[in-house]
C-alpha cells in the first residue's frame, strides 16, 4: 500500500472504548505489513508483525492467540481495511493479557471477543470513511483545477 489505510484511525480512542466495554484497561495493539501502528511508543513492549500473526493463525477469521515472552498472551482479530485483499487480512487488532489472563472463563473470553469485534468494526468504518473523504478531496481538487 502506498499510504497506510490505518493512518487516519484514532487508536487511542478505540483503546479507551475497549477499556470501557471490558471495564478494565488492556494494552491494545494494531499491526500490519508495515509493522506495529499502535502503540507507537512501545509502552506495552509489544513487537508483533503481520507475518508472525498470519503464520501463527493461518489467516484465520476468528479470534487468534499468540504466546509472548514472560507468559503473556496476545489475543487478536483480523482488521480488513480498504483496500483489503480478499485472501488475507490487511491488519490485526488485539490485546495483550498478562500471564494467566488468557485462561479466563468462557464468559470473559466471549465478552473479550465481542468487544474486539466491536472495535474492529468501528476501526473498519473509520478507515472506510477516511478513504471516502480522501477520494472526495481528490475529486474536488481535480474539479477545482478544471475550473482554473
The string of pLDDT tens digits covering residues 55-97 is: 555 555 678 787 777 777 888 888 887 665 445 567 888 888 8
φ, ψ at 112 (rounded to 5°): -65, -45
pTM above 0.85, yes or no: no
53 with 66: CB under 8 angstroms?
yes
Q: What is the 3-state secondary structure (H, E, C) of 102-137?
A: CCCCHHHHHHHHHHHHHHHHHHHHHHHHHHHHHHHH
Whole-number average pLDDT of the chain:
77
Q: What is the reported pLDDT for 145?
A: 92
C-alpha dihedral, 28 to 103 to 105 to 78, nearest 10°: 40
Q: What is the reported pLDDT for 72?
A: 77
Amino acid at each position: 500500500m502506498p499510504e497506510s489505510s490505518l493512518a487516519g484511525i484514532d487508536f487511542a480512542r478505540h483503546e479507551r472504548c475497549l477499556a470501557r466495554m471490558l471495564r478494565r484497561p488492556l494494552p491494545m495493539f494494531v499491526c500490519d505489513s508495515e509493522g506495529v501502528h499502535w502503540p507507537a511508543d512501545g509502552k506495552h513492549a509489544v513487537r508483533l508483525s503481520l507475518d508472525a500473526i498470519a503464520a501463527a493463525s493461518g489467516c484465520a477469521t476468528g479470534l487468534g492467540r499468540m504466546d509472548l515472552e514472560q507468559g503473556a498472551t496476545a489475543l487478536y482479530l483480523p482488521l480488513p481495511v480498504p483496500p483489503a485483499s480478499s485472501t488475507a487480512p490487511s491488519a490485526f487488532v488485539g490485546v495483550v493479557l498478562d500471564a494467566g489472563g488468557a485462561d479466563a472463563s468462557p464468559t470473559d473470553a466471549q465478552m473479550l471477543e465481542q468487544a474486539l469485534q466491536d472495535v474492529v468494526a468501528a476501526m473498519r468504518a473509520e478507515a472506510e470513511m477516511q478513504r471516502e473523504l480522501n477520494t472526495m478531496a481528490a475529486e474536488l481538487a481535480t474539479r477545482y483545477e478544471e475550473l482554473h
